[in-house]
Amino acid sequence: MSICIELAGKTAVVTGGSSGIGLSISKVLLNAGARVIIIDIDDKRFETVKDEIKKISAEFDFYSADIKNSEKISETVQVMISKESKIDILVNNAGIVKDGLLIRMSDEDWLDVIDVNLNGMFYITKNVLKHMVKAKSGRIISIASVIGEIGNMGQANYAASKAGIIALTKSIAKEYAARGILANAVAPGFIRTVMTDKLPDDVKEAIKKSIPLNKIAEPEEIANAVLFLCSELSAYITGSVLNVNGGMYM
Ligand code: NAI
């Protein structure tokens, strides 16, 4: 039996969709037939990937916005709704790291990471949910991290933001299940993107050795998990955390 996931007629919003995992999610959803709206702070980066996106489908649009700016996000969602008329899927993917040992971490680095990764998810989800509630359906998939489950040295801000994403996801799942809205998180392990390319080679090698599947994942491996959570195949799954980490944490 072959299963083909079909998202024709669905509109998906992907935050941080100009790069890495978000770009891959955007491409995979476009390939499945969805219309994809990318929200990203980096419009220059989007310009560099626009043509490769266009090769898959012309059914996409781009909004430049900072996810941690509550007013701008509310305004962007309003403009989007007036143009698209609906949002079926929201993928909360935009995220940053500002690593450092807790004792030396500045208030600014703590707040920046919490603002983008967690508060950003709150701002956009709140605005999109209003429309999903009216439509009595919707899927919200948020990209957490294995670090939000196990913690990490030098990543207190990041770990706390990602654990917050998981708790927020479960609360949305409980609050809106009766309205036909499913909320799940995907927790990636170690994925090859600009976020992780910065690490020294010996650190990358040590991380690889700690992964039972002995491999650093490609962004598509996360995108495929998101595709599953957007599809009818996952219609009875809500409030869950799907670990896509090669066995790093079980
Ligand atoms: P990336 O740095 O390649 O992409 C992040 C995207 O988010 C970029 O396009 C960036 O412009 C956008 N962005 C950043 N701040 C923003 C803001 N304030 N407003 C709007 N857009 C903003 O990173 P990557 O690796 O693709 O990460 C994507 C998500 O996956 C993040 O949430 C990250 O925490 C998570 N993740 C990544 C892992 C990895 O190994 N790369 C592992 C686990 C989770």
What are the average pLDDT values for consecutive 10-residue runs of the chain, which has 250 residues?
A: 88 98 98 98 98 98 98 98 97 98 98 99 98 98 98 97 99 98 98 89 91 96 98 98 98
Atom of ligand 1 nearest to the CA of 190: 40
52 lines ligand 1 (CB under 6 A): no
What lies within 8 Å, CB to CB, of 173 at 6+ separation is 182, 183, 184, 238, 239
The per-residue pLDDT for 198 is: 85
Per the CB < 8 A criterion, the answer to whether 68 and 118 are in contact is: no
CA of 22 to the centre of ligand 1 (A): 7
Q: Is the CB of 19 under 6 A from ligand 1?
A: yes
H helix intervals, the chain: 20-31, 43-54, 70-84, 107-113, 120-135, 147-150, 156-176, 194-197, 201-209, 219-230
Residue reference for tokens 């669905």: 10
How many angstroms separate the alpha carbon of residue 45 from the centre of ligand 1? 13
Q: Which atom of ligand 1 is nearest to the CA of 68?
A: 18
Q: Determine the 3-state secondary structure of 91 from DSSP.
A: strand
Ligand 1, atom 44, residue with closest C-alpha: 145
How far does the centroid of ligand 1 lie from the alpha carbon of residue 114, in Å?
13
Quote the pLDDT of residue 38. Answer: 98
Ligand 1 within 6 A of 94 CB? yes
**From the alpha carbon of 194, which atom of ligand 1 is closest?**
3
Whether ligand 1 lies within 6 angstroms of the CB of 18 is answered as yes
The catalytic position among 63, 158, 176, 236 is 158
pLDDT score of 195: 83
Q: Whose CA is nearest to atom 32 of ligand 1?
A: 95
158 is catalytic: yes
For ligand 1, is residue 6 a contact (CB within 6 Å)? no
* Greatest extent of the chain over all pairs of C-alpha atoms, in Å: 55
Does residue 195's CB lie within 6 angstroms of at least one atom of ligand 1?
Answer: yes
